[in-house]
Amino acid sequence: MQDSQNLLAARQRLLGGGYRLFYDQPLHVVRGEGVWLYDAQGQAYLDAYNNVASVGHCHPAVVAAIASQAAQLNTHTRYLNDAIVEFAEDFLSEFPPELRNITMTCTGSEANDLALRIARQVTGGEGIMVTRWAYHGVTSLLAGLSPALGEGFQRGENVWLIDAPDSYRTQPGAWVASIAQALEEMRQAGVKPAALLFDTIFSSDGIFSPEAQRVQQGVALVRAAGGLIIADEVQPGFGRTGSQRWGFLRYGVTPDLVSLGKPMGNGHPVAALVGRPELFAEFGRRQRYFNTFGGNPVSCRAAQAVLQVLRSEQLQNNAQEVGCFLRQGLCTLAAQYPVIGDIRGEGLFIGVELVLGHEQKTPASQIAAAVVNKMRQRQILISTTGPQASILKIRPPLVFRQQHAELLLQTLGQVLEEVTA
Ligand code: PMP
């Protein structure tokens, strides 16, 4: 095995400039188990960031399901096979009854991309609304809808940026007003709305969970103007937000389309778009959708195993309980360290906004970066989010227990002491 310095140099030489690694001192891990990652020396790191390995790194049931199906059959998706139908039937039972079709893909980006194609075709509209610091994926279409890409972002054609429902800096209702304004601008420009696409916990915008009533109002405006609602559950889905399996359920709205990804295969690349059958039928009348790997037998067995573990280990419940414990501990730290301006989130999806001054609320981006790197030096992995990267993002695998939360809180206290001394 190469040492970390050689690996880093080789990576830069071979993979080129588009990639970014986490941490000033990038982590070279060789093994994972539960909430732990291990480096080559056997040093353990508490993973408090990874929502992909959602049921725990290398969960034995998921590993076994992948291995056994891979040993039996894996092929493209144009033959009859039991795995996709068995999975679809079971998985769709997790959704409101209006959402009864699924298209399997390999990535969340493909799911969002398909959602937009369907929305534009079915509504005959073009206008799409996304929040001001959203991230929705890697295709050229989605890059134009992902301002979180930063400096290089180029807004796509007929894309409107709306405010995030920022509970810390803006009045309740600002998000709805921003939707109304975008719809009015579309009307004036002669652009028919196609969809509102939103991440149901606004992960990249800074982690917000608006009141149900506000979301219902926003949704009603879009629908009245003829647009569809696409819920991006790639980050918040699969029980992470604790009280519900899917983020949109917290708001009491049923989207037309729901995109899913990251935790769906616990690291195996499997993703999907779930939605109203009429929409898929209308789309299918005029277009075909063929995704070579999307819904292959191995992916379906992986996703099925993840779903079973989520249920049998009651991980949504755990997200709710441990998330609550963690937020309480963070509130205690906030009373000691004024650099903590706000604590947000649901279940095991938590944002801790760092600021300089509670009145000014100046984003403390440098402090946030220092906290993340110092936590990493103490073997605890978190990251940041938000337009200024000033919000600590804590989003561990759902097998994160109280003792892990205690360790995180204790270490965060030490680090805050150090960075604010
Ligand atoms: N939507 C959201 C909210 C995401 O966070 C991401 C990935 N970061 C995507 C979509 C795209 O998913 P993928 O990387 O699997 O294409």
Q: What domains sit in the chain, N to C, each tagged with a CATH number?
A: 4-55+314-419 (3.90.1150.10), 60-312 (3.40.640.10)
- What per-residue confidence (pLDDT) applies to 16? 87
Q: How far is CA 236 from CA 170, 348, 377, in A?
A: 22, 9, 28
Query: Atom 1 in ligand 1: which residue has the minimum CA distance?
Result: 136
Q: Is the shortest distance between the CB of 236 and ligand 1 below 6 Å?
A: no
Quickly tell me which residue has 């054609």 as its tokens. 157
Amino acid code (one letter) for 124: G
Q: Is the shortest distance between the CB of 198 and ligand 1 below 6 Å?
A: no
Question: Can you give the pLDDT of all 421 residues of the chain as single tens digits?
Answer: 678 889 999 999 999 888 889 999 999 999 999 999 999 899 999 999 999 999 999 999 999 999 999 999 999 888 999 999 999 999 999 999 999 999 999 999 999 999 999 999 999 999 999 999 999 999 999 999 999 999 989 999 999 999 999 999 999 899 999 999 999 999 999 999 999 999 999 999 999 999 999 999 999 999 999 999 999 999 999 999 999 999 999 999 999 999 999 999 999 999 999 999 999 999 999 998 999 999 999 999 999 999 999 999 999 999 999 999 999 999 999 999 999 999 999 999 999 999 999 999 999 999 999 999 999 999 999 999 999 999 999 999 999 999 999 999 999 999 999 999 8
A 10 A CB-CB count for 291 gives: 17
Quickly tell me which residue has 């800096």 as its tokens. 169
Q: In what order do the strands lie in the sheet with 127-131?
A: 101-105, 271-275, 257-260, 228-232, 193-199, 127-131, 159-162
Q: Is the shortest distance between the CB of 237 and ligand 1 below 6 Å?
A: no
- What per-residue confidence (pLDDT) applies to 17? 80
Instruction: Ligand 1 pocket test: pick from 109, 197, 205 the residue with the most ligand atoms within 8 Å of its Cβ.
Output: 109
Please name the residue ranges forming H helices in 252-401: 277-286, 297-312, 315-336, 365-377
Q: Is the shortest distance between the CB of 112 and ligand 1 below 6 Å?
A: yes
Q: Is the shortest distance between the CB of 233 and ligand 1 below 6 Å?
A: no
ipTM of the complex in this document: 0.99
The CA 261 to ligand 1 mean position distance, Å, reads 7
Calpha distance 250→246 (Å, rounded): 8
Query: Atom 16 in ligand 1: which residue has the minimum CA distance?
Result: 109
The tokens describing 138, both together, are 């890697």
Within 13 A of 281's CA, how many CA atoms are on the CB side?
5
- What per-residue confidence (pLDDT) applies to 2? 73
- What per-residue confidence (pLDDT) applies to 399? 98
The CA 236 to ligand 1 mean position distance, Å, reads 11
- What per-residue confidence (pLDDT) applies to 4? 85
Closest alpha carbon to 129 in 258, 218, 217: 218
The CA 143 to ligand 1 mean position distance, Å, reads 11
Atom of ligand 1 nearest to the CA of 262: 15
Closest alpha carbon to 345 in 366, 367, 328: 328
Q: Where are the beta strands (DSSP E) in 136-209?
A: 159-162, 193-199
pTM of the predicted structure, to 2 decimals: 0.97
Calpha distance 176→216 (Å, rounded): 9
The CA 111 to ligand 1 mean position distance, Å, reads 9
Dihedral through CA 239, CA 242, CA 246, CA 248, nearest 10? -160
Do 411 and 378 meet the contact criterion of CB atoms below 8 Å apart?
yes
Query: Atom 2 in ligand 1: which residue has the minimum CA distance?
Result: 136
Task: Show Cβ contacts of residue 364 under 8 Å, excluding neighbours closer than 6 positions.
Answer: 339, 354, 355, 356, 390
Q: Is the shortest distance between the CB of 206 and ligand 1 below 6 Å?
A: no
